[in-house]
């Protein structure tokens, strides 16, 4: 199976995105009797531009250079990072800042340390201290609310 | 002369000086931290100034503002993460410089460029204020639309490589800007019934997601975390040389004027000017391909222009009571609270306070310069903190920043979605700058286009019949098609 | 072996975090109690039963930190007023009040945040009576009086709170009748700047009905937009606050042709005084909470706000910023809330909002 040039894929995706956007734009309500063109015009213009650009990319795909973006390991790491970040948001929503953040910080320090050996107790102290400092500064000093959580 | 004496007495009283120093420090910190900004700092401290004497309160708020605009560049240089939207383009060249071990050079450049931007723009503002202010009122939606369009097209035309990809990035940014309630008639678009999306996608979330979090995720994916500790943080190495400064004088003047003008226009400020100035510097440069790899010109351009917007925004604020950007809107509120009535007569009725404002901005610029120059050895020490301790805290701050902008957890989800979008764009080799610029300007572009059509009796023609608007549109048209045209001309010359 | 170590470490981290959380909560509780006591003892030095009632109210609300939602951007009229009053509330009750600007979607995200908040007094919203029009025009589907708990109605004192119609300083139009004549003479050229679906549009529709004339509505969302648009000659007429207009009138950039409120000022007649029937609107600020608030709690909240009428510092701040308002007591507030719902409903039903 021959390797498809990336730009063909990109062009295709862009065109599809443009078509999807155009379809959604057509559902936008236009108020009658207003003095301006209505809210459908702008997204339609943008969608059509996107479709045209997608086609343009497809057309010039033959000349494009192939650049490798990420290795397989790289994609795996992206997956892991997104996983942790999404988990953090969920934790924040249900448990609140004070508990989720030390856990998050602990996990991320481990993740970013990679192969390096970092003392577990160092990470724990760091996670708790940073959480406490941040909470104090934002909530007490600046009066800016932090996520409260549904359960707690 | 009396006025000047009073102003100097007020500004240079020990209490005021101390407050301004504290304000500058707070501003720098807020500006440097991703997720917070000078605007947030001003808004937070506003109630605390209620009980103060007006001169003191205003001087304090202005010092926070100036500090905030200048502080963002520190994190942009050292961490590659823009502290505020006014430093997005700074990252493009300052960060590579830092990674090459030239942190000191980058920092010096930024500090000096920032100072020149703020200092000169405030002096010009002070002198020209009365005369130039009326221009702000003569401009209508047609001019604003054409200007925004010109800015987007300019940046698109500079995207290296495929121009279709640059345009595509802009189109995607525009579509994202359409999410939420439409301007003018508040019709729901692309909201899928979710009321959180009704307000559209928040700027802060987009910026943090596409620049800050994206950077950390990508570096982790590529395994490039260790590069940080090796060469970073070296305060040895040369600072800024006089030759480099001289070479960039034209660049600085041009960027300064861009920043001044954009700051002057109500509704647009440093967030826009740094991107436009960067684009212009790149197109005017003899070595445009070096932009993005760590060229000092890029840093000069962005930092001069975003600080020049400070003086620019002061002009309509002081002379007309019209906010130049989000921070001046809050400052105006502050003036009202202290019983000063912003408007055309502010200068006439209470000239002391007007000069206090300009004076405070100028003095703060000097304070920030001294503080930053003094701290130049200190700042890179941040990079001595191990990567795996520094960046988790930064990530956490980004999440907090996204949350506090709208007080919803939803915003954090939006931010992550933007990170995913950034990954897609990077994979597809679509440049992020047109995307982010189109997103920031999308709302304004549509609002002014629609207003322009409805205000006038001859619809679309007004965009061309009004001279200023016409000029901007022509510039936009030319910058988009000129590269293609000049290639054609060169080709035909060769074949002839 | 390593895995279990990691797991235990995580569990310990979580446990310590929990203790942190527990500590902070009890900490807040004790400071709260101390503050309430301080507030209570300060109150007893003031005169009579009124003080005792306020103390009782302050003891009931707020119990914990309060989030104040302002569905407008920072620095605007509503925002500044909210911040000044919140500052008073924080001073008098000793609790933390946090102002949050949620101006997205013309304020609608803010409305929803308040409407969906827990009905325990920890979330309130500052807004204005334009709310009823936003609902009646179909832009916002929830009724302010039923989907929210109306809490406090403010009444603006003096002329500064009134709204006035303005045209460009050198315009040939001098009063409301001139405006109507001009609209009849050259249909389609007279434009009125307002944000669609709100009280400003209602006022425009009232003028059109009273004068039997058509005026083109164009978009101008903020006061700044209106001022720049009218003074720059791009919009014919718009309505802004009197306090905001005064300077521009003095400098010659704008001219006042009528007052939007029912009663004019000493200098200017109101639209209804000039003969336009049923053509008036008074924009007042008010406070809402989510629906389902206990009636006693509502009364207690109103009581705490009522204290601001006697607070010298706040009165000074509001007077200097030309937005002095009084908080109405509970019964008066409720009747005004009901009034607005009724009159707006009637007026809005005659308008084709499409």
With helix as H, strand as E and coil as C, how does B160-213 read? CCCHHHHHHHHHHHHHHHCCEECCCCCCEECCCCCHHHHHCCCHHHHHHHHHHH
Tell me how far apart the alpha carbons of residues A111 and B389 are, in angstroms, rounded to a whole number: 11
Contact A36 C219 (CB under 8 A): yes
**What residues of chain B, 441 to 460, have a C-beta less than 8 Å from chain A?**
445-446, 449-451, 453-454
**Between these two residues, B484 and B116, which has the higher pLDDT value?**
B116
Contact C65 A145 (CB under 8 A): yes
Predicted confidence at residue C24, as pLDDT, reads: 34
Tell me how far apart the alpha carbons of residues B178 and B167 are, in angstroms, rounded to a whole number: 17
Whether the per-residue pLDDT at C266 is higher than 50: the answer is yes
**pLDDT band (50, 70, 90) for residue C35:** very low
Contact B187 A85 (CB under 8 A): no
The shortest C-alpha distance from A150 to chain C (Å) reads 11
Contact B451 C219 (CB under 8 A): yes
DSSP state string for B254-294: HHHHHHHHHHHSTT--HHHHHHHHHHHHHHHSS-GGGTTS-
**pLDDT band (50, 70, 90) for residue A145:** confident
Whether the per-residue pLDDT at C101 is higher than 90: the answer is no
Q: Which of B201-205, C114-118, C217-221 shows the highest mean pLDDT?
A: C114-118
Contact A92 B44 (CB under 8 A): no
Predicted confidence at residue C251, as pLDDT, reads: 84
What is the rounded average pLDDT for all residues in chain B? 84
Contact A35 C16 (CB under 8 A): no
Predicted confidence at residue B455, as pLDDT, reads: 84
Predicted confidence at residue A1, as pLDDT, reads: 34
Tell me how far apart the alpha carbons of residues B467 and B473 are, in angstroms, rounded to a whole number: 10
Contact between A110 and A118 under an 8 Å Cβ cutoff? The reply is yes
Residue linked to tokens 């979607």? C105
Whether the per-residue pLDDT at C19 is higher than 60: the answer is no
Nearest to B151 by CA among B491, B445, B361: B445
First and final CA of chain A: distance in angstroms?
Answer: 54
| pLDDT mean over A16-39 | 82
Tell me how far apart the alpha carbons of residues B201 and B53 are, in angstroms, rounded to a whole number: 39
- In terms of phi and psi (left: phi > 0; alpha: psi -120 to 50; beta: otherwise), the region of B192 is left
Whether the per-residue pLDDT at C34 is higher than 50: the answer is no
Interface check for B160 against chain A (CB to CB < 8 A): the answer is no
Range with lowest mean pLDDT among A34-48, B123-137, C52-66 = C52-66
What is the rounded average pLDDT for all residues in chain A? 83
Interface check for B220 against chain A (CB to CB < 8 A): the answer is yes
- In terms of phi and psi (left: phi > 0; alpha: psi -120 to 50; beta: otherwise), the region of A58 is alpha
| pLDDT mean over B454-481 | 82
Contact A145 C16 (CB under 8 A): no
Interface check for C67 against chain A (CB to CB < 8 A): the answer is yes
**Between these two residues, B72 and B406, which has the higher pLDDT value?**
B72
Whether the per-residue pLDDT at C269 is higher than 70: the answer is yes
* Maximum Cα interatomic distance, chain B, rounded to a whole number of Å: 77
Predicted confidence at residue B276, as pLDDT, reads: 86
Whether the per-residue pLDDT at B225 is higher than 70: the answer is no
Q: Chain C contacts of B333, Cβ < 8 Å?
A: 74-76, 79-80, 83
Which two three-digit tokens encode residue B301? 């351009």
B394-406 confidence digits (pLDDT tens): 899 889 888 887 7
Predicted confidence at residue B383, as pLDDT, reads: 76
**pLDDT band (50, 70, 90) for residue C4:** very low
Contact A69 B174 (CB under 8 A): no
Predicted confidence at residue B287, as pLDDT, reads: 81
- Burial category of A13 from C-beta neighbours within 10 Å (exposed 0-12, middle 13-18, buried 19 and up): middle
| pLDDT mean over B173-182 | 89
Tell me how far apart the alpha carbons of residues B225 and C320 are, in angstroms, rounded to a whole number: 55
Nearest to C205 by CA among C350, C20, C354, C36: C350
**Contacts across the B-C interface (CB distance below 8 Å):** 145
Contact between B402 and B414 under an 8 Å Cβ cutoff? The reply is yes
Whether the per-residue pLDDT at C98 is higher than 80: the answer is yes
The shortest C-alpha distance from A113 to chain C (Å) reads 14
Neighbours of B390 (CB within 10 A): 18
Contact A120 C9 (CB under 8 A): yes
What is the rounded average pLDDT for all residues in chain C? 80
What three-state secondary structure class fits C125? strand
Predicted confidence at residue C44, as pLDDT, reads: 41
Predicted confidence at residue C237, as pLDDT, reads: 92
Whether the per-residue pLDDT at B480 is higher than 80: the answer is no
What three-state secondary structure class fits C155? strand
Of A98, A121, A123, the CB nearest to C20: A98
C36-90 confidence digits (pLDDT tens): 333 344 434 444 454 555 566 667 888 888 989 999 877 778 888 999 999 899 8
Per cent of chain B over pLDDT 70 is 96
**Between these two residues, B282 and C26, which has the higher pLDDT value?**
B282
Contact C74 B330 (CB under 8 A): yes
Tell me how far apart the alpha carbons of residues B377 and C248 are, in angstroms, rounded to a whole number: 50
Q: Which of B202-211, B260-269, B384-393, C282-291 shows the highest mean pLDDT?
A: C282-291
Q: How far are the Cα atoms of A13, B145, B199, B276 from residue A46, in angstroms, in the given order? A: 15, 16, 20, 21
**pLDDT band (50, 70, 90) for residue C252:** confident
**Between these two residues, C348 and C56, which has the higher pLDDT value?**
C348
Q: Chain B contacts of C84, Cβ < 8 Å?
A: 47, 50, 337
**pLDDT band (50, 70, 90) for residue C210:** confident
Neighbours of C122 (CB within 10 A): 17
pTM of the full predicted structure? 0.81
Whether the per-residue pLDDT at A32 is higher than 70: the answer is no
Q: Chain C contacts of B50, Cβ < 8 Å?
A: 84, 87, 313, 317
Angle formed by the axes of helices B296-320 and B88-99, nearest 10°: 150
User: In sequence order, what are the beta bridge partners of C125?
Assistant: C69, C288
Q: Which one of B185, B219, B392, B459 would you mutate to disrupt binding with A, by most A Cβ within 10 Å of its Cβ?
A: B392
Whether the per-residue pLDDT at B366 is higher than 90: the answer is yes
Tell me how far apart the alpha carbons of residues B393 and C10 are, in angstroms, rounded to a whole number: 18
Range with lowest mean pLDDT among A148-152, B91-95, C342-346 = A148-152
The reply to whether omega before C62 is within 30° of 0 (cis) is yes
Contact A124 C219 (CB under 8 A): no
Predicted confidence at residue A4, as pLDDT, reads: 65
The DSSP 8-state label assigned to residue C328 in this structure reads: P
B305-333 confidence digits (pLDDT tens): 999 998 888 888 888 888 877 788 888 88
Q: Which one of A85, A114, A126, A144 would you mutate to disrupt binding with B, by most B Cβ within 10 Å of its Cβ?
A: A85
Nearest to B424 by CA among B217, B266, B220: B217
Predicted confidence at residue B401, as pLDDT, reads: 86
Find chains touching chain C: ≥3 CB pairs under 8 Å.
A, B
Whether the per-residue pLDDT at C127 is higher than 90: the answer is yes
The shortest C-alpha distance from A145 to chain C (Å) reads 7
| pLDDT mean over C136-144 | 87
Predicted confidence at residue B496, as pLDDT, reads: 63
**pLDDT band (50, 70, 90) for residue B229:** very low
Of B331, B339, B407, the CB nearest to C321: B339
Predicted confidence at residue C305, as pLDDT, reads: 92
| pLDDT mean over C149-153 | 93
Contact A28 B189 (CB under 8 A): yes
Q: Chain A contacts of B228, Cβ < 8 Å?
A: none
B326-335 confidence digits (pLDDT tens): 788 888 888 8
What ipTM does this complex have?
0.88
Residue linked to tokens 């236009």? A30
A89-111 confidence digits (pLDDT tens): 998 888 888 888 888 988 888 88
Chain C residue at shortest CA distance from A105: C13
**Contacts across the A-B interface (CB distance below 8 Å):** 181
Instruction: Tell me the helix, strand and coil percentages in chain A, rounded to 5.
Output: 70, 0, 30
Contact B427 A47 (CB under 8 A): no
Q: How far are the Cα atoms of B44, B48, B207, C96, C195 from residue B330, in angstroms, in the given order? A: 10, 14, 22, 22, 21
B441-464 confidence digits (pLDDT tens): 888 888 888 888 888 877 788 888
Contact B392 A70 (CB under 8 A): no
Tell me how far apart the alpha carbons of residues C139 and C151 are, in angstroms, rounded to a whole number: 23
Residues 6+ apart with CB under 8 A from B131: none
| pLDDT mean over B42-65 | 87
Predicted confidence at residue C62, as pLDDT, reads: 85
Predicted confidence at residue A151, as pLDDT, reads: 62
Q: How far are the Cα atoms of A46, A127, B387, B396 from residue A88, in angstroms, in the given order? A: 34, 14, 20, 10
């Amino acid at each position: 199976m021959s390797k498809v040039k990336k730009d063909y894929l990109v062009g295709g995706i862009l065109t599809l995105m443009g078509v999807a956007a155009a379809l959604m734009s057509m559902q936008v309500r236009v108020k009658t009797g207003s003095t301006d063109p209505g809210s459908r015009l702008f997204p339609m213009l943008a969608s059509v531009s996107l479709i045209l650009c997608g086609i343009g990319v497809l057309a010039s795909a033959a000349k494009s250079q192939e650049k490798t973006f990420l290795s397989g390991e790289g994609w795996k790491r992206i997956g892991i990072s997104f996983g942790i970040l999404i988990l953090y948001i969920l934790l924040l929503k249900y448990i609140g800042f004070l508990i989720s953040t030390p856990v998050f910080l602990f996990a991320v320090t481990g993740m970013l340390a990679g192969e390096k050996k970092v003392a577990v107790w160092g990470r724990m102290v760091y996670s708790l201290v940073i959480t406490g400092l941040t909470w104090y500064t934002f909530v007490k000093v600046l009066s800016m609310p932090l996520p409260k959580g549904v359960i707690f | 002369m009396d006025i000047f004496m009073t102003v100097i007495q007020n500004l240079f009283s020990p209490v005021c000086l101390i407050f301004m120093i504290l304000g500058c420090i707070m501003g720098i910190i807020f500006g440097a931290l991703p997720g917070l900004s000078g605007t947030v700092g001003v808004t937070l401290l506003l109630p605390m100034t209620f009980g103060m004497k007006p001169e003191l309160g205003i001087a304090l708020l202005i010092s926070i503002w100036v500090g905030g605009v200048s502080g963002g560049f520190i994190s942009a240089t050292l961490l590659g993460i823009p502290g505020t939207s006014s430093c997005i383009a700074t990252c493009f060249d300052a960060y590579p410089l830092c990674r090459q071990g030239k942190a000191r050079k980058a920092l010096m450049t930024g500090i000096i460029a920032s100072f020149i931007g703020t200092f000169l723009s405030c002096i010009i503002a002070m002198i020209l204020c009365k005369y130039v202010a009326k221009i702000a009122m003569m401009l209508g939606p047609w001019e604003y639309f054409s200007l925004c369009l010109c800015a987007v097209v300019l940046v698109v035309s500079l995207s290296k490589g495929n121009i279709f990809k640059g345009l595509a990035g802009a189109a995607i940014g525009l579509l994202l800007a359409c999410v939420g309630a439409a301007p003018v008639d508040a019709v729901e678009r692309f909201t899928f019934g979710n009321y959180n999306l009704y307000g559209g996608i928040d700027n802060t979330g987009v910026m943090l997601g596409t620049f800050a979090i994206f950077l950390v995720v990508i570096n982790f994916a590529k395994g490039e975390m260790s590069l940080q500790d090796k060469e970073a943080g070296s305060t040895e190495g040369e600072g800024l040389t006089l030759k480099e400064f001289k070479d960039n004088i034209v660049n600085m003047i041009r960027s300064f004027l861009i920043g001044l003008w954009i700051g002057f226009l109500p509704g647009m400020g440093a967030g826009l000017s740094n991107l436009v100035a960067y684009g212009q510097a790149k197109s005017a440069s003899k070595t445009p391909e070096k932009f993005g790899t760590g060229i000092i010109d890029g840093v000069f351009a962005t930092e001069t222009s975003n600080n020049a917007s400070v003086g620019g925004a002061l002009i309509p604020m002081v002379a007309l009571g019209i906010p130049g950007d989000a921070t001046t809107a809050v400052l105006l509120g502050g003036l009202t609270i202290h019983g000063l009535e912003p408007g055309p007569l502010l200068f006439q009725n209470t000239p002391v306070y007007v000069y206090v404002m300009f004076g405070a901005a100028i003095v703060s610029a000097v304070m920030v310069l001294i503080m930053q120059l003094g701290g130049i050895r200190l700042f890179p020490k941040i990079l001595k903190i191990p990567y795996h301790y520094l960046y988790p805290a930064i990530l956490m701050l980004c999440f907090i920043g996204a949350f506090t902008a709208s007080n919803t957890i939803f915003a954090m989800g939006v931010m992550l979605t933007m990170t995913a979008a950034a990954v897609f764009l990077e994979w597809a080799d679509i440049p992020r700058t047109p995307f982010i610029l189109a997103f920031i300007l999308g709302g304004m572009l549509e609002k002014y286009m629609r207003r322009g059509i409805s205000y006038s009796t001859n619809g679309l023609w007004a965009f061309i019949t009004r001279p200023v608007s016409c000029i901007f549109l022509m510039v936009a048209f030319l910058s988009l098609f000129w590269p293609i045209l000049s290639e054609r001309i060169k080709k035909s010359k060769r074949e002839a | 072996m390593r895995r279990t170590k990691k797991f235990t470490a995580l569990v310990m981290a979580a446990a310590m975090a929990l203790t942190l959380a527990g500590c902070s909560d009890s900490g807040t509780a004790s400071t709260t109690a101390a503050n309430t006591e301080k507030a209570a003892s300060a109150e007893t030095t003031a005169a009579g039963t009124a003080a005792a009632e306020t103390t009782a109210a302050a003891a009931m609300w707020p119990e914990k930190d309060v989030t104040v939602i302002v569905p407008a951007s920072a620095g605007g009229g509503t925002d500044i007023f909210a911040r000044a009053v919140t500052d008073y509330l924080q001073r008098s009750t000793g609790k933390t009040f946090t102002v949050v600007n949620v101006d997205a979607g013309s304020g609608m995200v803010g409305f929803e945040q308040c409407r969906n908040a827990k009905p325990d007094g920890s979330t309130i919203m500052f807004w204005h009576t334009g709310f009823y029009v936003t609902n009646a025009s179909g832009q916002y589907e929830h009724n302010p009086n039923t989907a929210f708990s109306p809490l406090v109605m403010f009444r603006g004192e003096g002329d500064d709170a009134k709204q006035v119609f303005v045209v460009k300083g050198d315009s040939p139009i001098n009063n409301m009748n001139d405006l109507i004549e001009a609209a009849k003479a050259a249909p389609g050229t007279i434009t009125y700047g307002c944000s669609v679906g709100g009280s400003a549009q209602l006022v425009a529709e009232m003028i059109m009905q009273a004068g039997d004339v058509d005026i083109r509505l164009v978009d101008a969302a903020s006061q700044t937009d209106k001022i720049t648009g009218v003074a720059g000659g791009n919009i014919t007429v718009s309505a802004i606050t009197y306090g905001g207009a005064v300077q521009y009138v003095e400098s010659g950039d704008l001219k006042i042709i009528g007052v939007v409120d029912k009663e004019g000022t000493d200098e200017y007649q109101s639209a209804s005084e000039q003969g336009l029937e049923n053509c008036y609107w008074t924009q007042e600020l008010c406070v809402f909470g989510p629906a389902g608030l206990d009636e006693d709690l509502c009364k207690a909240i109103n009581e705490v706000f009522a204290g601001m009428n006697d607070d010298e510092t706040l009165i000074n701040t509001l007077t200097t910023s030309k937005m002095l308002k009084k908080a109405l007591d509970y019964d008066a507030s409720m009747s005004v809330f009901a009034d607005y719902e009724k009159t707006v409903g009637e007026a809005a039903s005659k308008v084709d909002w499409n």
